[in-house]
């Protein structure tokens, strides 16, 4: 195992003039140049021009024209086949895209290859498999017949139009493709707005889509400042739906704007996900579970666990062993094949996570390990464990979205279940025990969109994903996505 050398294709791509992908063409536009920073070095590796009203107008017009024209008339199996071709192109360009993702997000190259790229391919194939299967039903109606006439009624699932996808920085290909593939297989067209921090990978994916035969205007990417572009996109008359993943604050404002316009919105707004460990597990088993649930990708996964409820008799031993394990997470280049610890994704996020750790210490929560920045360049932060003062501690309530586990001892399982549900969020949770009957019963009582048992964070294309309470609404993938990306039309006839 060694360090990955950047492919020429990646260095050449970074050197190019970047902006947007509109109507089948790359265009840089003339907006302000925004630097793209490699989080491992904190150095500028590329630049992207910000878009504004002109680019929004062009992207929305292209997507609307494509929706009204060629795409609507494209048979669903042809749409599915294009998604399969895009999946094959991602497979063929796996290393190039993985490297690009790593230098833009700080994600380790192993995760970029094995999770970001391989899962993106899996999701594309899954959505392609829905071709020809998205349909309405024939209904039995009871209209009285006076002269022998009969009635037949059925429903059809129709695409909505132009879907706007507003994206976060943590999985800049995969989350975009969840939204894009769901929208496209249902017959919609898309305009995607990547995070300002990760504008590049999706531009390359859009080029590959074009190369495999996506007609112009079907898939557009527009880069720039979210506060400027977000309202322009959401309030554009052609915007028929928004699918947003990001923070609760921004998501709520996007949700309000959509509801003012009366258009549907899917919101995935993160969480303060809980993991409950029951007393029958060994200390070793608990630590293995905590590392899986809370520290993958430096905790920058919306479904990651951030608060851990442990039996009072074992919490000290667990925290001691966890500290030893976390000490082996030493900073390295995320391009190293076996990098134990990459950087956080961007400077404001690092600052936010550090601020929450400092605030916890001021509040009387106890920092067990980590939480400091190692010497050297880049946005690295040593993974932290914090023993919380109480269930109400801010560190048990506020999302950090970083490598920061907050721990609390329970005396009774009932008490822990109450703490889990006493949260404004409800994205995910996990229960860890050998007693499966108890785990299933607890899963019924936990308020979260997904509850894992003896596992955490794993997503599968077949399983719907989304939050309740402050974590959002709507569901991505599984069969549930169909409700979010189509509308139902009823048709009735007399004969």
**Binding pattern for the stretch 211-230 against ligand TXE, x by CB under 6 A and - elsewhere:** ---------------xx--x
| Residue 397 found at the interface with ligand TXE (CB under 6 A) | no
| Residue 241 found at the interface with ligand TXE (CB under 6 A) | no
306 is catalytic: no
| Residue 267 found at the interface with ligand TXE (CB under 6 A) | no
| Residue 247 found at the interface with ligand TXE (CB under 6 A) | yes
DSSP string, 206-218: HHHHHHTTPPTTS
Element at 46 (helix H, strand E): strand 43-49
Tell me the C-alpha to C-alpha distance, in Å, between residue 461 and each of 20, 120, 122, 476.
28, 10, 7, 9
Number of residues that bind ligand TXE (CB under 6 A): 26
Chain residue at closest Cβ approach to ligand TXE = 230
* Whole-number Å distance between alpha carbons of 236 and 308: 43
Which one from 268, 306, 399, 476 is the annotated catalytic residue? 268
369 is catalytic: no
| Residue 352 found at the interface with ligand TXE (CB under 6 A) | yes
* Whole-number Å distance between alpha carbons of 490 and 385: 55
> Maximum Cα–Cα distance for the chain, whole Å?
88
DSSP string, 147-201: SS--EEEEEEEEE-SEEEEE--SSSTTHHHHHHHHHHHHTT-EEEEE--TT--SH
Residue 279, classed as helix, strand or coil, is coil
Which residue's CB is nearer to ligand TXE, number 355 or number 364?
A: 355
| Residue 64 found at the interface with ligand TXE (CB under 6 A) | no
| Residue 245 found at the interface with ligand TXE (CB under 6 A) | yes
| Residue 196 found at the interface with ligand TXE (CB under 6 A) | yes
In the complex, least distance from residue 448 CB atom to ligand TXE, rounded to whole angstroms: 14
Element at 277 (helix H, strand E): strand 273-277
Which one among 186, 221, 269, 395 touches ligand TXE, defined by CB under 6 A? 269
Percentages helix, strand, coil for the chain (3-state, rounded to 5) are 40, 20, 40
| Residue 401 found at the interface with ligand TXE (CB under 6 A) | yes
In the complex, least distance from residue 110 CB atom to ligand TXE, rounded to whole angstroms: 21
Which one among 55, 399, 476, 484 touches ligand TXE, defined by CB under 6 A? 399
Q: Are 383 and 329 in contact (CB under 8 A)?
A: yes
Which one among 126, 127, 130, 169 touches ligand TXE, defined by CB under 6 A? 169
Which one from 302, 339, 399, 476 is the annotated catalytic residue? 302
| Residue 264 found at the interface with ligand TXE (CB under 6 A) | no
Residue the block writes with tokens 């302000």: 32
| Residue 160 found at the interface with ligand TXE (CB under 6 A) | no
Which one among 186, 254, 274, 409 touches ligand TXE, defined by CB under 6 A? 254
| Angle at which helices 174-185 and 76-92 cross, to 10° | 160
| Residue 166 found at the interface with ligand TXE (CB under 6 A) | yes
Tell me the C-alpha to C-alpha distance, in Å, between residue 27 and each of 59, 171, 207.
11, 24, 12
In the complex, least distance from residue 267 CB atom to ligand TXE, rounded to whole angstroms: 9
Half-sphere exposure of 270 (CA within 13 A, CB side): 22
Catalytic residue positions, numbered: 268, 302
Residues that bind ligand TXE (CB under 6 A): 166-170, 193, 195-196, 226-227, 230-231, 245-247, 250, 253-254, 268-270, 302, 349, 352, 399, 401
């Amino acid at each position: 195992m060694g360090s990955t050398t950047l492919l020429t294709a990646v260095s050449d791509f970074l050197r190019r003039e970047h902006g947007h992908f509109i109507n089948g063409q790359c265009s840089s536009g003339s907006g302000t140049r925004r630097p793209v920073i490699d989080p491992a070095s904190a150095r500028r590796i590329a630049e992207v021009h910000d878009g504004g009203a002109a680019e929004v107008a062009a992207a929305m017009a292209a997507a609307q024209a494509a929706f009204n024209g060629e795409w609507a008339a494209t048979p669903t199996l042809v749409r599915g086949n294009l998604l399969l071709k895009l999946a094959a192109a991602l497979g063929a360009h796996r290393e190039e895209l993985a490297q690009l993702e790593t230098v833009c997000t700080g994600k380790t190259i192993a995760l970029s290859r094995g999770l970001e790229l391989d899962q993106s391919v899996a999701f594309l194939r899954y959505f392609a498999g829905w071709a020809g299967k998205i349909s309405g039903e024939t209904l039995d109606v009871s209209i009285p017949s006076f002269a022998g006439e009969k009635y037949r009624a059925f429903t059809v699932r129709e695409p909505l139009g132009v879907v706007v996808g507003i994206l976060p920085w943590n999985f800049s290909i995969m989350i975009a493709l969840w939204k894009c593939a769901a929208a496209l297989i249902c017959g919609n067209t898309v305009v995607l707005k990547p995070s300002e921090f990760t504008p590049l990978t999706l531009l390359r994916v859009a080029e590959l889509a074009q190369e495999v035969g996506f007609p112009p205007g079907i898939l557009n990417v527009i880069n720039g400042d979210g506060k400027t572009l977000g309202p322009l996109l959401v309030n554009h008359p052609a915007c028929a739906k928004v699918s947003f993943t990001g923070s609760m604050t921004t998501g709520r404002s996007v949700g309000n704007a959509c509801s003012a316009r009366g258009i549907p919105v899917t919101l995935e707004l993160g969480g303060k996900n809980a993991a409950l460990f029951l007393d029958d597990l060994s200390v070793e088993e608990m630590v293995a579970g905590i590392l899986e649930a809370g520290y993958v990708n430096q905790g920058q996964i919306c479904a990651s666990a951030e608060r851990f409820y442990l039996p009072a008799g074992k919490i000290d031993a667990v925290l001691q062993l966890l500290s030893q394990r976390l000490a082996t997470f030493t900073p390295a280049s995320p391009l190293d094949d076996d990098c134990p610890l990459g950087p956080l994704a961007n400077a404001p996020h690092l600052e936010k996570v550090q601020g929450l750790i400092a605030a916890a210490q001021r509040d009387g929560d106890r920092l067990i390990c980590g939480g400091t920045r190692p010497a050297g360049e880049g946005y690295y932060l040593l993974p932290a464990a914090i023993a919380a003062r109480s269930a109400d501690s801010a560190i048990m309530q506020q999302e950090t979205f970083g490598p920061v586990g907050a721990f609390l001892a329970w005396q009774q399982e009932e008490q822990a279940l109450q703490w889990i549900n006493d949260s404004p969020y409800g994205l995910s949770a996990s229960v860890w025990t050998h007693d499966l009957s108890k785990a299933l019963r607890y899963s019924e009582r936990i308020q979260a969109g997904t509850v894992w048992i003896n596992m955490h964070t794993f997503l599968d294309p077949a399983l719907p994903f989304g939050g309740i309470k402050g974590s959002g609404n709507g569901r991505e993938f599984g069969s549930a996505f169909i409700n979010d990306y189509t509308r139902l039309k009823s048709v009735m006839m007399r004969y």
